[in-house]
Amino acid sequence: MSSCRTGTGISSGRTRVGKFELGRTLGEGNFAKVKLARNVETGENVAIKIIDKDKILKHKMVRQIKREISTMKLIRHPNVIRMYEVMASKTKIYIVLEFVTGGELFDKIASKGRLKEDEARKYFQQLICAVDYSHSRGVCHRDLKPENLLLDANGGLKVSDFGLSALPQQLREDGLLHTTCGTPNYVAPEVIHNRGYDGTKADLWSCGVILFVLMAGYLPFEDTNIMALYKKIFKADFTCPPWFSSSAKKLIKRILDPNPATRITFAEVIENDWFKKGYVPPRFEQADVSLDDVDAIFSESADSRNFVVERREEAPMAPMAMNAFELISTSQGLNLSSLFEKQMGLVKRETRFTSKCPANEIISKIEQTATPMGFDVRKNNYKLKLQGEKSGRKGHLSVATEIFEVAPSLCVVELRKSGGDTLEFHKFYKNLSTGLKDVVWKAEPIGEETNGDTATASR
């Protein structure tokens, strides 16, 4: 093998940005890509969100992104992913974030079913506290969903993508947000109506849906038809299961009030008797935070200590090797069973399959199958970019594919939606799988979810 990957997914001598060595892609969207990285000075693993500068300039978002990043740097909450620093090259912005290893909170439900009420309350308390605190700092999330609820090594909740998940959104003169975003099953009715909405009230609705799922093990609003789903959300047409306590039912019904004017507030939730049971307010770290790097990220001066150059070495001519530790890290929550088991009600924006065929044969077969389906295939060694020729519900479907070698006779093929609609990605993957039946050894079911998606990277 001409290259190898460590147990954390970092490959020696590949791509360096300042003091960070970039590893595999964790998530991808229209505006950003998130990569695992390692600080070569300390050995610490971090996540780096990479944003295309041209897109920021094109959408006239410079002032907004500076404000969002400045606010995020000031947030020091134990239940919010920490932002460490910001760097920039001539073409990209690099946001260095805390990397947590406990997987997604919803993996617990996918593998074990619903949580007991006391355990669900504990996570809900952490979620409400984190979201309310961030609101007090002027940041609404606007895209609370399963992918953004992570767990640290101690099992504590960490909300990711605060402020950054909705970078393309902007307030209008009425002080309201006007862009529909988020995962439909978790989105407040006023967001879907697209007549302007209060981000704090919309966030609370999403928190209510999350609490329901934690305690029930399924979504309050679900339908295979998207318009029927919207009607249920507009009417708050849901029923609490009989195992919910009466006080929990009352709170959820007050949160899932379709009228934002009469919906319970965060302050009222925190004073609610059911919420307060066993509640221990978190301790906050008071730290001096410099915003000098935020001001410097759009400076063209190479003298700035925050100006970096992405250094690439010659790409390997063999597929990237993936050892056992790397394989486990691709499975959420370090649980190998989730690699190929269907998960409940989650938006699947990536999937994978294994193959006993040689990497070159897999690439050739993907190209032969995708091209007649109307996809342009661009190859870069053992990575492929599949771009749909026709525009779909959310633009052209784009799929990033990468092949890893687990053993000399076993490859893992990872497919990630990098643009377009999630449901169209599901349909594409089903058709692709049919064409690849001779090379697929074992595939991860992608499901028939109708949750939709957002364009940003979640993790």
User: Is 60 annotated as ligand-binding?
Assistant: no
Q: Select from 24, 77, 84, 99 the least CA-distant residue to 306.
A: 84
* 254 and 262 Cβ atoms separated by less than 8 Å: no
End-to-end CA distance of the chain: 30
Residues 143, 161, 198, 257: which is the catalytic one? 143
Regarding beta strands 10-17 and 20-28, do their DSSP bridges make them parallel or antiparallel, or are they unpaired? antiparallel
Q: Select from 219, 50, 73 the least CA-distant residue to 134.
A: 73
Would you call 273 a catalytic residue per the annotation? no
Q: Select from 353, 389, 390, 373 the least CA-distant residue to 435.
A: 373
Structure tokens at 338: 């989730």
d(CA 121, CA 280): 12
Q: Could you list the active site residues?
A: 143
What residue numbers does the annotated binding site for ATP cover? 49
What residue numbers does the annotated binding site cover? 49
